[in-house]
């Protein structure tokens, strides 16, 4: 099998005292995308390469397998590369941390078998970008609303606030449980309203509801390039309308991390 | 427009447009996303798998509840610090109808969005009013 042959070859290199290298894979782009060669350096400041197979190409760079982790820098380098690629044309991100042994593995294990699907994905993403809309509550607002709307929560707060944590443990857990449940309802309700407002302007969306006291939701939005201005105008109007309760922050464009059917 | 409202504005608008810079932003945006390569073809890069695990911090529910409870209990300290006992504060809120603020604000959003273009005639076209004015409008429709 190809994989084991390659693996033993690299072990042989080790025996000769050389350090084994791997291929860090960032993304798949169209084979004819020359701009990919102008991308910034990747992990460890090593220049990027293209591994071409048919109509698609993987953007990779060579990385020493025994390199120190350097987690933050790796993640940032990955994002920098993907940002650059996304600005050039359609790009299918490959999950962060994907390492193959060599170019043959990239062709045989990533590009070759999936070429038709990758081409279709790239066609589908042409002229589209991902934006992240992050909605957060103005601090204190959701708790104030919950306290004023739910007498049980207000009563539990009264019962627990001047007692020690130890003696009021059960009441505190109950208070927190009720607040957590109320927060979930509030987030779901508000997220629906926000989503309704942006739906006409997006091709696809993914919602992740918040989990803490200020997080409402993060919306990943796939947007046609020519509709971005409309979306921004709509969001500005929305942000003004809700600004006493909710803050809206929009980032992007970025590579379509949430719209390639991964993970 | 009040100064408090103005202070929220960034770059002339209410919609913030930050560049994703923090590690947390990047982790949220990219981790576990993208197409997945078959595990048997992959080789592991020391550290990367660890990062994936680190980023998935799952907090036990009881701890979460206790944190929420603590925040709820802390809230009245803030309010008291503001010069009003919480009871009075809540009383004021109920009297002023602010306890229905959620629905008020939300209907404000909806009307701002749906009626913004065609149905703005009942207001000054030039001066858009923020959502906090919405309860009044909603109230009139209740009657």
Contact A93 B30 (CB under 8 A): yes
Residue A243 has its nearest CB partner, among B50, B71, B130, at: B130
Tokens 């921004």 correspond to: A232
> Across the interface, do A132 and B29 touch by the CB < 8 Å criterion?
yes
pLDDT tens profile B38-54: 766 666 655 555 455 44
Q: Tell whether the model's pLDDT for residue B89 goes beyond 90.
A: no
Distance CA A79, CA B33 (A): 12
B23 interaction partners in chain A (CB closer than 8 Å): 72, 75-76
Question: Quick check: is A119 in a domain?
Answer: yes
Residue A262 counted as domain residue: no
| Mean pLDDT estimate for chain A | 87
Q: Which residues of A touch B104 (CB under 8 A)?
A: none
What is the pLDDT at residue A16? 52
The per-residue pLDDT for A122 is: 95
For the cut 50, the answer to whether the pLDDT of residue B101 exceeds it is: no
Q: Domain count of chain A?
A: 2
Q: Are residues A66 and A180 in the same domain?
A: no
Task: Give the residues across from A205 on adjacent strands.
Answer: A221
Domain end (from A126, A146, A170): A126
What are the structure tokens assigned to B102, written together? 């959620």
Q: Stretch B67-89: mean pLDDT, rounded?
A: 57
Mean pLDDT of all residues in B70-92: 51
pLDDT in tens, A134-192: 999 999 999 999 999 999 999 999 999 888 888 889 999 999 999 999 999 999 999 99
Judge: A235–B15 Cβ closer than 8 Å, yes or no: yes
- Tell me, yes or no, whether A151 and A225 share the same domain: yes
What local confidence, expressed as pLDDT, does residue A235 receive? 96
Which tokens sit at A128? Answer: 């589209």
Report chain B residues whose CB lies below 8 A from the CB of A71.
47-48, 50-51
> Which CATH number characterizes residue A189's domain?
3.30.70
In a domain, A214, yes or no: yes
pLDDT value for A66 = 76
Same domain, A11 and A95: yes
Contact residues, A window 143-162, toward B, CB-based 8 Å cutoff:
143-149, 153-154, 157, 160-161
Whether residue B135 has pLDDT greater than 80: no
Residue A68 has pLDDT above 80, yes or no: no
How many residue pairs from chains A and B have C-beta atoms closer than 8 A? 251
Same domain, A111 and A217: no
DSSP-assigned beta bridge partners for residue A61:
A24
The alpha-carbon gap from B100 to the nearest alpha carbon of chain A, in Å, equals: 8
Specify the pLDDT at position A246: 96
Assign A109 a pLDDT band (cuts: 50, 70, 90). confident
Residues A27, A85 contacting (CB under 8 angstroms)? yes
Looking at the structure, do residues A161 and A62 belong to the same domain, yes or no?
A: no
Asked whether residue A178 falls in the same domain as residue A235, the answer is yes
A190 CA: distance to closest CA in chain B (Å)? 8
Q: What is the mean pLDDT of residues A237-257?
A: 94
Is residue A259 one of the residues assigned to a domain? Answer: no
Split at pLDDT 50, 70, 90, the class of A110 is confident
- Chain A residues touching B105 at Cβ < 8 A: 242, 244-245
Q: Which of A200, A139, A194, A150 is nearest to A174 (CA)?
A: A150
Q: Is residue A263 part of a domain?
A: no
Confidence of residue A101 (pLDDT cuts 50, 70, 90): confident
What is the mean pLDDT of the segment spanning B35-40? 74
Q: Evaluate whether residue A260 is within a structural domain.
A: no
Lowest mean pLDDT segment, chosen from A160-169, A201-210, B101-110? B101-110
Contact between A91 and A128 under an 8 Å Cβ cutoff? The reply is: no
Establish if A237 belongs to a structural domain. yes
Q: CA–CA separation, A47 vs A15, rounded Å?
A: 27
- Check pLDDT > 90 for residue A13: no
Instruction: Say whether pLDDT at B55 is over 80.
Output: no
Higher pLDDT, A52 or B49: A52
Q: What pLDDT score was predicted for residue A1?
A: 33
Whether A87 and A186 map to the same domain: the answer is no
Higher pLDDT, B61 or A182: A182
Same domain, A107 and A155: no
The alpha carbon of B14 is separated from its chain's Cα centroid by a whole number of angstroms, namely 13
Neighbours of A76 (CB within 10 A): 15
Instruction: Please give the C-alpha separations between residue B85 and each of A149, B70, B75, B81, B130, in angstroms, as whole numbers.
Output: 18, 18, 11, 9, 28
pLDDT score, position A6: 39
- Are A193 and A85 within one domain? no
Nearest to A244 by CA among B25, B125, B135: B135
Identify the helix (H) or strand (E) that includes residue B114: helix B101-114
Q: How far apart are CA A8 and CA A4, in angstroms?
A: 6
A93 and B35 in contact by Cβ < 8 A? yes
Give the Cα-Cα-Cα angle A42, A46, A47 (nearest 5 degrees).
Answer: 75
Domain C-terminal end among A126, A155, A184: A126
Q: What is the distance between the alpha carbons of residues A102 and A84, in angstroms, rounded to a whole number?
A: 24
Task: Answer yes or no: do A168 and A107 share one domain.
Answer: no
Contact residues on chain B for A140, CB-CB shorter than 8 A: 75, 78
Name the residue among A52, A50, A71, A69 with its Cα closest to residue A60. Answer: A50
Determine the Cα–Cα distance for residues B135 and B4; give it in Å rounded to an integer.
Answer: 20
Q: Cβ contacts (< 8 Å) between B127 and chain A: which residues?
A: none
Q: Do residue A167 and residue A205 come from a single domain?
A: yes
* CA A156 to chain CA mean position, Å: 38
Strand partners, A222: A130, A204
What is the C-alpha to C-alpha distance for residues A61 and A23, in angstroms, rounded to an integer? 6
Q: What pLDDT score was predicted for residue B14? A: 94
Which residues of chain A lie closer than 8 angstroms to B99, CB-CB?
A: 145, 148-149
Residue A238: pLDDT band (50, 70, 90) is very high
Domain membership of residue A85 as a residue range: 2-126
- How far, in Å, CA of B20 to CA of A260, rounded? 21
For residue B58, pLDDT beyond 80: no
Distance CA A187, CA A193 (A): 10
Task: Confirm or reject contact between A46 and chain B (CB < 8 A).
Answer: no
Is the pTM here over 0.80, yes or no? Answer: no
B6 pLDDT more than 70: no
Are A216 and A140 part of one and the same domain?
yes
Question: Residue B35: pLDDT band by 50, 70, 90 thresholds?
Answer: confident
Task: Report the Cα A59 to chain-centroid distance in Å.
Answer: 19
The pLDDT-based confidence of B111 (bands split at 50, 70, 90) is very low
Contact B18 A251 (CB under 8 A): yes
A209: tokens are 């509801």
* Boundary-marking domain end, from A103, A126, A149: A126
Q: What is the distance between the alpha carbons of residues A145 and A235, in angstroms, rounded to a whole number? A: 24
Report in angstroms the alpha-carbon separations of B101 from A7, A193, B56, B134: 63, 15, 35, 9
Nearest CB to A97 within list B48, B98, B112:
B48
Chain A residue whose CA is closest to B24: A72
């Amino acid at each position: 099998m190809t994989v084991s042959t390659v693996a033993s070859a690299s072990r042989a290199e080790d025996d000769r005292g050389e350090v084994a290298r791997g291929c860090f894979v960032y993304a798949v782009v169209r084979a004819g995308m020359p701009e990919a060669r102008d991308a910034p350096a990747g992990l460890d400041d090593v220049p990027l390469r293209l591994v071409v197979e048919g109509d698609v190409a993987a953007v990779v760079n060579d990385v020493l397998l025994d390199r120190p982790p350097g987690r933050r820098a790796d993640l940032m380098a990955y994002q920098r590369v993907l940002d650059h690629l996304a600005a050039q044309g359609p790009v299918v991100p490959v999950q962060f941390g994907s390492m193959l042994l060599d170019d043959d593995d990239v062709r045989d294990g990533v590009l070759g078998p999936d070429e038709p699907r990758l081409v279709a994905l790239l066609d589908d993403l042409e002229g589209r970008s991902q934006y992240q809309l992050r909605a957060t509550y103005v601090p204190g607002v959701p708790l104030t609303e919950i306290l004023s709307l739910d007498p049980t929560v207000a009563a539990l707060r009264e019962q627990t606030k001047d007692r020690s944590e130890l003696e009021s443990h059960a009441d505190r857990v109950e208070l927190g449980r009720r607040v957590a449940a109320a927060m979930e309802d509030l987030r779901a309700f508000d997220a629906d309203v926000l989503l309704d407002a942006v739906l006409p302007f997006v091709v696809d969306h993914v919602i992740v509801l918040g989990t803490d006291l200020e997080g409402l939701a993060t919306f990943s939005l796939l947007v046609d390039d020519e509709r971005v201005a409309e979306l921004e105008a709509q969001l500005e109007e929305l942000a003004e309308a809700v600004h006493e309760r909710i803050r809206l922050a929009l980032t992007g464009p970025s590579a379509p991390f949430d719209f390639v059917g991964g993970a | 427009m009040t100064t408090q409202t103005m202070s929220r504005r960034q770059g002339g608008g209410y919609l913030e447009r930050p560049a994703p810079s923090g590690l947390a932003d990047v982790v949220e945006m990219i981790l576990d996303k993208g197409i997945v390569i078959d595990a048997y073809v992959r080789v592991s890069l020391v550290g990367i798998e660890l990062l994936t695990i680190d980023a998935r911090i799952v907090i036990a529910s009881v701890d979460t509840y206790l944190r929420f409870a603590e925040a709820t209990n802390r809230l009245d300290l803030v309010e008291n610090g503001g010069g009003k006992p919480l009871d009075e504060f809540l009383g004021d809120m109920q009297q002023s109808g602010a306890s229905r603020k959620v629905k008020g604000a939300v209907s404000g959003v909806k009307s701002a969005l749906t009626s913004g273009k065609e149905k703005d005639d009942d207001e000054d076209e030039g001066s858009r009013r923020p959502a906090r004015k919405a309860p009044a409008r909603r109230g009139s429709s209740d009657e």
